[in-house]
Structure 1
Amino acid sequence: MTEQAVDVTAIMLAHAEGPMAGPAFHSLLDAVAHAREAGLIVETLVLLDNPDAATAEAFGAAERYGVRVEQVSYGDHPLVRNHAAAQVSRGYIAFLDGDDLWGENWLVEAHRLCETDPGRVIAHPEVNWYFDQSTYLYFLPDQTDPEFDVYSYIRVANPWDALCMAPVAAYQDIAHIKRSLAEGFAFDDWHWNMETLVAGYVHRVAPDTIHFKRRRAGSQFAAASANKSLPRATPIMDYEWLRQHEDSGRPHAVGDVRSAD
C-alpha cells in the first residue's frame, strides 16, 4: 500500500456473490467519494477469494475507479481479513463484504467517532438493515451505554459483526481466527470482538449510520449456525477473568491483555 498519510483503507471481500457484488461495490465507491469530499485520504482494495466467474466479472472495471483488485485463495473470510490488514500500515481499516452495502456517510461518521479517542475506538453502524431471506432492523449497542452489560451479553451472543472500522493495530495485533466447522468452531467476528474487548478497545456506535446486510442460504454465517458452531475460547469466557476485571474498577488499557492464568 502507499506510504502517504492514509486516513482510512476501505476493503471489500468477495468470493461468490455474483451480480450482487456490483451494487455492493458501488456503495463502497459512493462512501469513498463522500469521504474524500470531506477531506479524508482514503485508499481502496478489493480482495477476491477464489471468486466465481460472475463475481470476478463484477469487478472487471474496478481499476478504472482507482481501486486495486487482488485475487487470493484462502477459502475463508477470516484469513482474507488478516491478509488485507497486513498490507495496511497506518490509519483505520473498514471492511465490506461483497453482497452488503454501506450508507454513503459511513466512512466519514465512523472516522469522526474513532478520532474521538484515537487508537482505542472501534466504530459500528447504528443500524443493520437485513434483506433477502430475512428482513429486519438491528440496532447495534454501544459499549459505553450504561444500560448495556457488554461482558455478560457477549458471553452468550455477538452484538457486533465484522463490518466495522478499527485502527490498523487492532487487526494486526488481534488476528481473525480460522474457522473449523469440523471441530465446531466459527464466528470469527464474535471471537475478535471478545479479544479486542480484553485488549481494551471500546466498541462504539456511529450515529446516523446504516449498513444493508444480506441474509442468504449457503453463507458462511448460515453454515456456522446450522452446524451449531461456537467461537473459540477467550479470557472473557473465564469467570475468574471477569471477576478480576470487575474488581479492577477500570477498563484495560489497549494492549493490556489479561487472563486467569
Structure 2
Amino acid sequence: METISVIIPAYNAERFILETIESVRQQTVSNIEIIIIDDGSTDRTVELLNTVKDSRLKIFSYENAGVAVARNRGITHATGDYIAFLDSDDLWSSDKLELQLAALQHHPEAGVAYSWTCFIDEQSKFLYHHEKFLFEGNVYSQLLVKNFFGCGSIPLVRKQAIESVGSFDSSITPVEDWDYWLRLAAKWSFVVVPKTQIFYRKSTNSLSTKIELMKKNCIQVHDNAFKKAAPDLLGLKNQSLANIYEYLTHMSLENIPGQHGAKIASQELQTAVRLNPKLLLNRKVQKLATKLILMQLLSRERTKDFTGFFRLIFSNPAT
C-alpha cells in the first residue's frame, strides 16, 4: 500500500500545534507518517507533541534554521511514496489526503495535486475563501503569472517529483514555496481537487519587518523564472510583476498599521497598475483602490471608526 509522509515544520508552535496534528490524525487515509521538524523551538512545542500518543508521529529537533530548511530536513526523513507539507498553525479537512491521493492515482502523469483554501482566524473561525482555481495539466504559465497556491499547506506531491527538483531554496524565504512550485510545474503536470480542504490561519502577528524582504525575494523569484522561461512566455513578465505588487499592496495594508501602511500600499498599487493597466478592470483592485483613497482622506480617528465597515466589504479578495 502506498504511504504518505506529512512534513510539519514547527517553531514556537505551542498555540496551534496540537490542533494541527489532530487534523492530520483524523485523515480518512491511515497509511501515513507524521514528521515534525522542531526548528529550535524555545516554548512548549516539543513538550506538547510528546503528549500525542500516535505511533505514526516522529519528532526531530534541530537548531533554528527557518521553514525552508525545516521542510528540506523533513524530506530527508520521509519514507512515503507521496509527500505533503503542512504549516504548524494550518488545518486540513479530514478527506484532504484521500481525495488528493485519488486524483494523483487517477492521473499517473501528474506529480502534484492541489485543493482549494479558505482563511481562518486564531479561533479557527472562517474568514473568507481564497480564489478557486481550476488549472490542470501544464500550469507553468499560470504559476509564472501568479502563485495561485497561496500557502505551503496545499499540495500532495509524488516522491519522484520531489526528487526531480531537489530542495527548497532557503535563501529566498519567505517566498521559497512559489519558487518550488514553479520548479515542479516545469517538469510535472498538476491536478486539482475542486474542494476547499486547506484552512490557512491568519495571524495577528505583524509582518511589517518582513514585507521588504518578501518584496525583494518575490522579485528575485520572478526575475530568475523569466530568465529561464521560453520566449513565448516573456509577454507575461509585466503581468506577473504587477501581480506581485498587487499582493504587496494587500500585505502592506494588512500588516503595517495606520496611514503609513496605507501610504505604502498606495505606492505598491500604483506600481502594479502602471505595469498592467488592465488591473483597473478587476473588481478586487477597484475595491482596494477605493479603500485606499478613503483611508487617505479620513482622519486617523474616522479611519478607526470605519475599520469594521471596510473589513465587512473588502475582506474577501476573491470578490
TM (normalized to structure 1)? 0.74
**Do the aligned partners of 1:114 and 1:121 also contact (CA within 8 Å) in 2?**
yes
Where 1:47 maps in the other structure, the secondary structure is strand
> Which structure 2 residue ranges, 5 or more long, are not aligned?
236-319
RMSD after superposition? 3.0
Residue in 2 that maps onto 1:197: 185
Question: CA deviation digits over 1:49-94, x for unaligned, max 9?
Answer: 11122222221223x2111111122421111111111223441011
Question: CA deviation digits over 1:19-40, x for unaligned, max 9?
Answer: 2111111111111xx212xxxx
**Do the aligned partners of 1:91 and 1:168 also contact (CA within 8 Å) in 2?**
yes
The AA in structure 2 aligned to 1:167 is R
Where 1:27 maps in the other structure, the secondary structure is helix
Instruction: Tell whether 2:133 aligns with 1:144.
Output: no
Question: CA deviation digits over 1:111-137, x for unaligned, max 9?
Answer: 111112236331112233342499321
Question: CA deviation digits over 1:161-217, x for unaligned, max 9?
Answer: 32211011222332210135xxxx640110011111112x12322133411111224
- 1:68-217 mapped onto 2 (5 Å cutoff): 68-118=58-108, 120-132=110-122, 135-144=127-136, 150-160=139-149, 161-163=151-153, 164-174=155-165, 175-180=167-172, 186-199=174-187, 201-217=188-204
> Which structure 1 residue ranges, 5 or more long, are not aligned?
247-261
Larger radius of gyration: 2
State which of 212, 226, 234 in structure 2 corresponds to 1:237: 226
Instruction: Quote the offset at 1:104 in angstroms.
Output: 0.5
Matched residues, number:
226
Instruction: Give 1 or 2: higher helix fraction.
Output: 2
TM (normalized to structure 2)? 0.62
Where 2:197 maps in the other structure, the secondary structure is strand
Higher relative CO (Cα under 8 Å, sequence separation at least 6) belongs to 1
**Do the aligned partners of 2:139 and 2:189 also contact (CA within 8 Å) in 1?**
no
- In the alignment, the residues of structure 2 paired with residue 55 and residue 49 of structure 1 have an alpha-carbon distance, to the nearest angstrom, of 10
Instruction: Give 1 or 2: higher strand fraction.
Output: 1
Between 156-165 and 230-239, the greater mean CA deviation after superposition: 230-239
The AA in structure 1 aligned to 2:189 is V
